[in-house]
Structure 1
Amino acid sequence: MSLTTHVFGPDADDTAHILALHGLTGHGRRWAALAREHLADLRIVAPDLLGHGRSPWTPPWSFDDHLDALAAVVDMYIPPTRRPFVIVGHSFGGALAVRLAHRLGDAVGGLVLLDPAQGLDPPWALEVATDSLANWDYADADHARSTKRDEGWADIPEALLDKEIDEHLIPLANGRMGWRVSAPAAATAWSEMARDAVLPPAGLPTAVVVADRVRPPFVGADFLASCVGVESTRVVHADCGHMVPYLAPELTAALIREMVGGG
């Protein structure tokens, strides 16, 4: 299925391209502030994932279905002359980024994984998914705003939360408000994130950012232990919550630029 894709930055023959993958319940326009304020000279290709934003909501929504759709985005938006390119993925997008790098091989030159969510504890994933579905909608925009603040957005600038409300909150058929996300697709994503973690391809320059204020952590101890000592992989700890692209934009941009420069 064709994904709605947002593109930021110059369209020049020599511009480095970045494929940016948002997290669960997000959308591609979440990368706009980072692109505009920190990476304005790079070409950021940011799709809405399956079941998210303005991309198709119809199933299936598995990892493999996402990878098929993302490979098509790469074919459409990243010309062969701009490869290898860098993939940056946040949370669920980080789990997809690792798997897409395996699928695309030499077309990918580096990975930046921002608090990647994979290998999650299955009972915890079930608990979070069940609670999310039980509290899926809101009475109004103020209710959605306050809930977002309680769910990891407490330190995010008000202007960015305003943009999230304007872009991503929509009226639902039941008269309440909800995010522009398919609830069944979101539940499926929790199941996929409970699969075993996948390591980056051998030798591929990779930065793994761990958000140290997240409890329980999204980045599992076993995955981190497997990354330690791998010459091509760098683990970076960020003193922030899970929304790393918003809470640590300078770090995020610096790591992306390092990858563009060859790791």
Structure 2
Amino acid sequence: MISDHGLHVHRYGPARPVQVLAVHGLTGHGARWRHMAAALPEVSVAAPDLIGHGHSSWAAPWSIDANVAALAKLLEGTADGPVPVVAHSFGSAIALHLAAARPDLVDALVLLDPAIGLDGEWMAEIAAAMLASPDYPDAAQARAEKENGAWSDVDPALLDVELDEHLISLPGGRFGWRISVPAMMSYWSELARPVVLPDTTATTVVRATRTSPPYVGADLITALQARLGANFDLLDFDCNHMVDQAFPTEAAALVRKQLTRR
């Protein structure tokens, strides 16, 4: 793991120029990609903690644009050319903006249950709920929230890894995720920004069929189909929102497909 351009970057695979960029979702961290990377042992993967997450800087601004700038600097310094970007949820919004702003850095997109262009009232409700209850009295409650939510179909052993990596003790004896709550408030608003589309970048969207309510709406699919045509693929996975955790090997196969098509 290295610190680069203000981002803490988890590196997997051989010590060579970055071949794949992996971007986690809101409230997550880059080490979540270790499971997918294990199925790509010959591939050099960079998986940064986004701004306000994990061990990266928690300093403002907290925006999609700030993360795009940081990821662009990371790729400029570590990759030899454009690379496939695999991203989950909010990370997919950042990946789409990165591809639109810097197509010279992005060879393809693999978007796992992407969250972008979402309803503003819905995002306000989620932000208010997090602000009212940002932490937990004990680790058991933190685990139960995930088990009964988006992580419901993830291998319990992977959830153990998540808690070991990402859950921390807070002052007063409570527990919380290794995130900046003020940054999360800003990011929920960012998810209500209009959809941004790449011009020609080959894009695969995985829709998690058990996510309720769904993040991937018909408007996003229609827009990508109209913009990209044959460069767009839509796949349905029978899982909840945490696609990269529920199906790490299948996610790796989608990334490998983009690496081998060139």
Matched, 1:30 2:32: yes
The code of the aligned residue for 2:91 comes to G
Q: Which runs of 5+ in 2 are unaligned?
A: none
Contact 2:75 2:105 in 1 (8 A): no
- Partner SS state of residue 230, structure 2: coil
Contact 1:115 1:209 in 2 (8 A): yes
State the Cα deviation string for residues 90-112 of structure 1 (Å, max 9, x = none).
00000000111122222211110
Tell me which residue corresponds to 1:49: 50
Tell me which residue corresponds to 2:140: 142
Contact 1:227 1:235 in 2 (8 A): no
Which among 203, 207, 211 is matched to residue 206 of structure 1?
203
Within 5 A, what are the aligned runs for 1:58-207? Answer: 58-78=59-79, 80=80, 83-199=81-197, 201-207=198-204
- Partner SS state of residue 233, structure 2: strand
TM-score (norm 1): 0.93
CA RMSD of aligned residues (A): 1.4
Contact 2:152 2:240 in 1 (8 A): no
Tell me which residue corresponds to 1:237: 236
Whole-Å separation in 2 of the counterparts to 1:71 and 1:228? 26
State the Cα deviation string for residues 113-139 of structure 1 (Å, max 9, x = none).
111100101111111111122221111
Whole-Å separation in 2 of the counterparts to 1:76 and 1:146? 40
Shift of 1:248: 1.9
- Partner SS state of residue 189, structure 1: helix
Whole-Å separation in 2 of the counterparts to 1:3 and 1:84? 19
Shift of 1:12: 4.0
TM-score (norm 2): 0.93
Whole-Å separation in 1 of the counterparts to 2:232 and 2:93? 15
Whole-Å separation in 2 of the counterparts to 1:220 and 1:257? 26
Whole-Å separation in 1 of the counterparts to 2:172 and 2:78? 37
With 60-69 and 224-233 compared, the bigger mean Cα shift is at 224-233
State the Cα deviation string for residues 146-185 of structure 1 (Å, max 9, x = none).
1111221121111111111111111112321000001111
Contact 1:228 1:235 in 2 (8 A): no
Matched, 1:255 2:254: yes
Give percent identity, aligned residues only.
Answer: 46
Q: Which runs of 5+ in 1 are unaligned?
A: none
Whole-Å separation in 2 of the counterparts to 1:238 and 1:121? 23
Whole-Å separation in 1 of the counterparts to 2:168 and 2:63? 25
What number of residue pairs does the alignment pair up?
A: 256
Whole-Å separation in 1 of the counterparts to 2:167 and 2:213? 27
With 23-32 and 153-162 compared, the bigger mean Cα shift is at 153-162
Whole-Å separation in 2 of the counterparts to 1:102 and 1:262? 21
